[in-house]
Amino acid sequence: MEFTIKTATPEKFRAGILVAGAFADGALPAPTAVLDKAADGRIAALIKRGDLDEKAGSTLLLHELPGAAAERVLLVSLGKAEDFGDKAYRDALGAAAKALSASAAKDAGVLLADTDMAARTLDWRLQQAARILADGAYRFDAPKSGKDAKKERGAKKVTLLIAGKVSAALETAVRRGQAIAEGMALAKDLGNQAGNVCTPTHLAHTAQALGKHFKFDVDVLDRDDIEKLGMGSFLSVARGSHEPPKFIVMHYKGGRSKAKPVVLVGKGITFDTGGISLKPGAEMDEMKFDMCGAASVLGTFKAIARMGLPINVVGILPATENMPGGRATKPGDVVTSMSGQTIEILNTDAEGRLILCDALTYAERFKPACVIDIATLTGACVVALGKIPSGLLANDDELAAELLRRGTDSGDRAWQLPLWEEYQELLKSNFADMGNIGGRYAGTITAACFLARFAKSYKWAHLDIAGTAWVSGDAKGATGRPVPLLSEFLIGRADGKAG
């Protein structure tokens, strides 16, 4: 999708479709009022008649509106004026995105960003608009045969219309939104890919291709190198699989050479069968999404590289399958992690933490400003929080607060759970320094407690994206989350705003 910002008179804008907002009580934001005037009050009359549902995001498509140069006008409800905020604005954009992607119109004008909001700037509104509209055009090129496999449809050229002057800052906001959508698209593509296609080797190739294109360094460590580093915990997960494991490290250097990097660690289990503690068969196909943490790091790298963000970021992706097999790790096996701490593997299905702990130890060498790991780690997180926020746990409250705030700003929210010392005792083992599971209760917290033991030497936060990385059912597919949250976090850091 191609974006331009333009100062324009709404009624004269020529395009296949023009998107205009309207409040539920019939009040019209400035640009829609102009359009309504040119149409002799037709819009106000339709709303009065009740043709546009009140709920934010409801739409009404008008053809050949008198006085308007656009072929079609899509009216989008902004909900009640007194409730208008982030959610209603995003719902309206989401509806517009859906309509644009299905429309026969080739080009579009969008007036929505020109709606005043008490708490949000025009920059913010434009960045959100670009991101949500571009993301709405995402299609997974599924390997389907037949003639409807690839049908091109939808508006490709979008003009964001504003009343005031176009400035460099506004252009930056739109580019950022677009870059984030591009990062999400990469994360979604990787997640949606079948497990026999998106292997650890495929993740490594993707990282290398990104590095080549955007000129940043990528190291891919193979089994021998991983063994030499002493990552006994990571390798214990890879034992049951015939797919070679990969330990992928990306170095994006946009900042000053001495500036400490932010380190992002992404869980890259390209298929999670559970191992010898085999999962039940129902919906096991969805365990191809168990690499969405790694995919979100790759997506975020694509976004920040596209933006040319002045910041240093290291990405670490431990990648392997978790399979049962003759050489697979068995319940009761004891392994030694890179940190030297020993682990009794009581359940081979709690494998995410086993690959992440060695990556967290590896992260120490970068003397990080902070480390954030992203993982589809626990089913318990979906039980606790559902599929709305990602779970957030941290050993530093300021870092947690910063992430919560960037979640709200980006609309890709997280919710914090406690990481109290009292939970640590649930991990005790009779045969090693710790077990890899904590029993029936507080599964998301005990998983984070396990990781915390490997993240003591820096500020660290953990995002459990088990509920947010993909959706099930008819619309089954990866969401690209938390690329918006991570990108917004890094933008904030690059702009010099930590809080």
Q: What is the binding site for Zn ion (CB under 5 A)?
A: 269, 272, 290, 352
Residue with smaller CB distance to ligand BES, 8 or 448:
448
The entry of ligand BES, Zn ion, Mn ion, none that residue 373 binds, CB within 5 to 8 Å by partner kind: none
Shortest Å distance, C-beta 376 to Mn ion: 9
Using CB under 6 A as the binding rule, whether residue 376 contacts ligand BES is answered as yes
Nearest partner of 296 among 472, 447, 485, 471, judged by Cα:
485
Residue 454 is classified by DSSP as T
Residue 73, sorted as left (phi over 0), alpha (psi -120 to 50) or beta, turns out to be beta
Is residue 112 a contact point for ligand BES (CB under 6 A)? no
In the three-class reduction of DSSP (H, G, I as helix; E, B as strand; rest coil), residue 491 is classed as helix
Give the nearest distance from C-beta 159 to ligand BES in angstroms: 40
Give yes or no for residue 321 binding ligand BES (CB under 6 A): no
Q: For residues 58 and 444, which CB has a smaller minimum distance to ligand BES in the complex?
A: 444
Say how far apart CA 396 and CA 370 lie, in whole Å.
Answer: 10
Return the number of the residue (72 or 267) whose C-beta is nearest ligand BES: 267
Footprint of Mn ion on this chain (CB under 5 A)? 272, 349, 351
Catalytic site positions: 279, 353
Q: Check binding of 429 to ligand BES (CB under 6 A).
A: no
In this structure, what is the dihedral angle of CA atoms 352, 354, 359, 360, given to the nearest 10 degrees?
100
| Segment interacting with ligand BES (CB under 6 A) among 15-23, 70-78, 98-106, 347-355 | 347-355
Q: Cβ–Cβ contacts within 10 Å for residue 82, how many? A: 9
Hey, what are 167's tokens?
């400035």
Rounded distance, CA 29 to CA 21, Å?
A: 7
Q: Whose Cβ is closer to ligand BES: residue 85's or residue 324's?
A: 324
Q: Which of 135, 349, 358, 488 binds ligand BES (CB under 6 A)?
A: 349
What's the CA dihedral at 426, 430, 432, 435 to 10 degrees?
Answer: -30
Q: Is 90 helix (H, G, I), strand (E, B) or coil?
A: helix
Partner that binds at residue 334, options Mn ion, ligand BES, Zn ion, none, CB closer than 5 to 8 Å by kind: none
Contact between 154 and ligand BES per CB under 6 A: no
354: contact with ligand BES by CB under 6 A: no
In the block, residue with structure tokens 């023009």:
18
The yes or no reply on residue 488 touching ligand BES (CB under 6 A) is no
* CA proximity to 397, closest of 427, 368, 420, 425: 420
Instruction: Establish if 347 lies at the interface with ligand BES (CB under 6 A).
Output: yes
| The amino acid at 471 | V
Q: Tokens 């000053």 appear where?
A: 256
CB of 407 to ligand BES, least distance (A): 20
Q: Could you tell which of Mn ion, Zn ion, ligand BES, none binds residue 347, using a CB distance below 5 to 8 A set by kind?
A: ligand BES
Number of residues that bind ligand BES (CB under 6 A): 16
Complex with ligand BES: residue 173 or 384, whichever CB lies closer: 384
Tokens of 82: 């007194």
Bond into 482 cis (ω within 30): yes
What residues numbered 248-287 form the site for ligand BES, per CB under 6 A?
Answer: 272
Residue nearest to ligand BES (CB): 379
Q: Choosing among Zn ion, Mn ion, ligand BES, none, which partner's interface includes residue 182 (Cβ < 5 to 8 Å by kind)?
A: none
- Rounded to a whole number of angstroms, the minimum distance from the CB of residue 456 to ligand BES is 22
CA-based nearest residue to 445, from 353, 366, 364, 355: 353
* Residue carrying structure tokens 């308007």: 68
Distance CA 294, CA 204 (A): 10
Q: Could you say which DSSP state residue 113 is in?
A: G
Work out what residue 379 binds among Mn ion, Zn ion, ligand BES, none; the CB cut-off runs from 5 to 8 Å by kind: ligand BES
> Does residue 191 belong to the site contacting ligand BES (CB under 6 A)?
no
Q: Which residue has the tokens 């079609």?
A: 72
Q: How far is the CB of 271 from ligand BES (least distance, A)?
A: 10
DSSP reduced 3-state for 317: strand
Instruction: Name the segment binding ligand BES (CB under 6 A); options: 71-79, 140-148, 349-357, 491-499.
Output: 349-357
Angle 421-427-430 from CA coordinates, rounded to 5°: 130
User: d(Cα 128, Cα 30) in Å, to the nearest integer?
Assistant: 20
Q: Would you count residue 350 as binding ligand BES (CB under 6 A)? A: yes
Residue 466 interacting partner from Mn ion, ligand BES, Zn ion, none (CB closer than 5 to 8 Å by kind): ligand BES
CA dihedral 280, 283, 289, 290 (to 10 degrees): -10
Contact call for residues 156 and 106 (beta carbons, < 8 A): yes
Only one of the segments 86-94, 128-136, 248-256, 345-353 lies at the binding site for ligand BES (rule: CB under 6 A); that segment is 345-353
Least separation in angstroms between CB 233 and Mn ion: 14
Binding site for ligand BES (CB under 6 A): 272, 290, 347, 349-352, 376-380, 382, 437, 443, 466
